Amino acid sequence: MRYEALHFALRNRKLVAGTVVILVFLVAGLAGPLMFDHGPNDYVGPPMAAPSGEFWFGTTTFGQDVFAQFLYGLRATFLVGVLGGVLAAAVGMVVGFVAGYRGGWVDELLTMLTNIVLVLPALVVLLIVNAYLGVRSIGVQALFIGLTSWPWAARAIRAQTFSLRSRDFVDLARLSGVRTPRIILREIAPNMSSYLFLTFILLFGSAILIAASLDFIGLGPTEGVSLGLMLNNAARWSALQLGLWWWFIPPGAGITAIVGALYVMNVGLDEVFNPKLREM
């Protein structure tokens, strides 16, 4: 069964393409910055230079290397995505598992909480909280994204847990004297691993998008670079009007490519895990 999944995984064009794109960007983000002996914000070149052999993506109004910013920015983007995604997935899982497994009033309560957070427009809440708190680091940004984007994941996981909870092997584990947290962890979660993974991918993608929006509005981290901040800076320094397309195209394209690849990967994985879809 495992091998079968792998077999399909390797043959699924969507999954492979998505994964390749993600890996390329990941490697670029991890290894790329080592190419430079200057920081992403250093004034290293002539201002407003178009892409050239020396500066692949051109330079900003200050003469910063856009390519360097892009590669460093990838790091931040991945970091926010992973941290935000992991946190949201973790909260979503805890809430979803507990609500789904426990049922009863615990479920009622958690479902209520979930619904409340769900109907609150997350980005707007983030805007407000960010504005007040003056969140200024990637970590805190990821924290807030994680804390607001979990509800749909929790809902989905709850529903899944609900159906798994009544499966006999769960009862059997209970008959073996296994305790609840362990049952959730060892019996239920592994059965949803593909689902959890899919959830995480989606949360990962949405965390990146939310972070980019926050950065763009100027509520992003003030130090360092991220793709969203690059967009923000490009807009603020009139890159559009000055025709510095090389400044605002790459970061947006980078985000789109990463998130798009994640989504495509998600569909691919779905097809791998879900035999019904494979026939398509």
Partner 1 sequence: MLKLDGVSKVYRVGAFGGRELKAVSDVSFEVGEGEVVSLIGESGSGKSTLGRMILRLASVSGGTITLDGRDITSIKDRKEYYRQVQGVFQDPFSCYNPVFRADRVFAMIKEQYFPRAGADEWRKRVEGALESVRLDPGNVLGKYPHQLSGGQLQRMLIARAVLLDIRLLVADEIISMLDASTRIDVLNLLADLRARGLGILFVTHDLSLGNYVSDRTVVLRHGKIVEMGRTDLVFGSPAHPYTRSLLASVPRLHAKWTDAEMTDAVEDVPCAYHEAPQESRTRPGLAEIDSDHYVACADKEKA
Partner 2 sequence: MALNVTDLRVYYRTLRGEVKALDGVTFSVADGEIMGLAGESGSGKSTLAKSLIRLDGRMRHVGGTVELDGAAMPLSDDDAMDEFRFRKVSLIPQYSMSALNPTRKIGRMVGELLDSRGERPDRAELERRLELVGLSKDVLDRYPIELSGGMKQRVVMVVSTLLNPSLLIADEVTSALDVSSQKAVATTLLGFRDRGLVTSMMVVTHDISLVYQIADSIMVMYAGRLAEKAPADVLVTAPRHPYTQQLVSALPEVGVRYEDRRLAGIPGSPPSLLKPPGGCRFRDRCPLAFDQCAEQPPFAEVAPGHLVACWKAE
Partner 3 sequence: GGGSSTPTGPAGDGAAGGGAAAPAGGSGGAFPRNETLYTSGTQWGPPANWNPLREWDFATGTKGLVYETLFMYDPNTDKFTPWLAESGDWTGELEYTLKLRKGITWSDGKPFTADDVIFTFELGKMETVPYHPLWDWMKSAEKVDDYTIKFTFATANYQEWANHLYSRAIVPKHLWEGRSEDEVMNGVNEKPVGTGPYAYQSHDQDRMVWVKRDGWWATKALNKDVKPKYIVDIVNSSNEVAMGLLLQKGLDLSNNFLPGIANLVKGSFGIKTYYDQPPYMLPANTTWMWFNTAKKPMDDKEFRKAVAYAIDTKKIVEGVYGNLVKASDPSGLLPQWDKYVDKNVTSALGFSYNPDKAKQLLADAGYKDRNGDGLVESPSGAKISLKLIVPAGWTDWMEAARVISSSAKAAGIDIEADFPDYNALVDVRNQGKFDLVLNNDKQLANTPWLYYDYLFRLPVQKLQSTTNFGRYENKRAWELTQQLDQVKPEDVEGMKKITSELQKIQLGDMPVVPLWYNGLWSQTTDSTWKNWPTSAADAPKYPPTVWRNWLEMGGTLMLTELQPASGG
Could you give the CA distance from residue 5 to residue 269 in angstroms, rounded to a whole number? 9
Write the interaction track for partner 2 spanning residues 4-43; mark x where CB under 8 A is met and - where it is not. Answer: x--x------------------------------------
| Length reported for the chain | 280
Nearer to partner 3 by Cβ, of 31 and 242: the residue is: 242
Spatial separation of the C-alpha atoms in residues 216 and 192, rounded to whole Å: 36
If the CB atoms of residues 139 and 275 are measured against partner 2, the closer one turns out to be 275
Structure tokens at 253: 């394209």
CA distance 152 to 88: 10
Q: Which does 213 bind (CB under 5 to 8 A by kind): partner 2, partner 1, partner 3, none?
A: none
CB of 273 to partner 2, least distance (A): 15
- How distant is the alpha carbon of residue 42 from its chain centre? 28
Cα separation, 168 vs 82, in Å, equals 35
- For residue 113, give the H/E element and its range: helix 104-119
Residue 91's closest CA among 160, 166, 144? 144
- Could you tell me the smallest distance in angstroms from the CB atom of residue 8 to partner 2? 8
Query: What CA–CA distance (Å, rounded) separates 166 from 189?
Result: 14
Window 100-119: contact mask with partner 3 (x via CB under 8 A):
--------------------
Q: Which of the listed partners (partner 3, partner 2, partner 1, none) does 53 bind, with a CB threshold of 5 to 8 Å by partner kind?
A: none
Question: DSSP per residue over 226-250, as a string?
Answer: -HHHHHHHHHHTTTTTTT-HHHHHH
Instruction: Please check whether residue 84 is in contact with residue 265, taking contact to mean a CB–CB distance below 8 angstroms.
Output: no
Residues that bind partner 1 (CB under 8 A): 1, 104, 108, 167-169, 171-178, 187, 190-191, 193
With binding defined as CB under 8 A, does residue 136 bind partner 3? yes
Question: Pick from partner 3, partner 2, partner 1, none: which does 134 bind, CB < 5 to 8 A by kind?
Answer: partner 3
The entry of partner 3, partner 2, partner 1, none near residue 143 (CB within 5 to 8 angstroms by kind) is: none
CB 238 → partner 3: shortest distance, Å?
Answer: 5
Partnered with residue 65 across adjacent β-strands are 59
Binding site partner of 218, from partner 2, partner 1, partner 3, none, Cβ cut-off 5-8 A by kind: partner 3
Name residue, tokens 């690849």: 261
Q: Which residues bind partner 3 (CB under 8 A)?
A: 41, 43, 47-48, 61-63, 131, 134, 136, 218, 222, 233, 235-238, 240-242
Q: Which residues bind partner 2 (CB under 8 A)?
A: 4, 7, 279
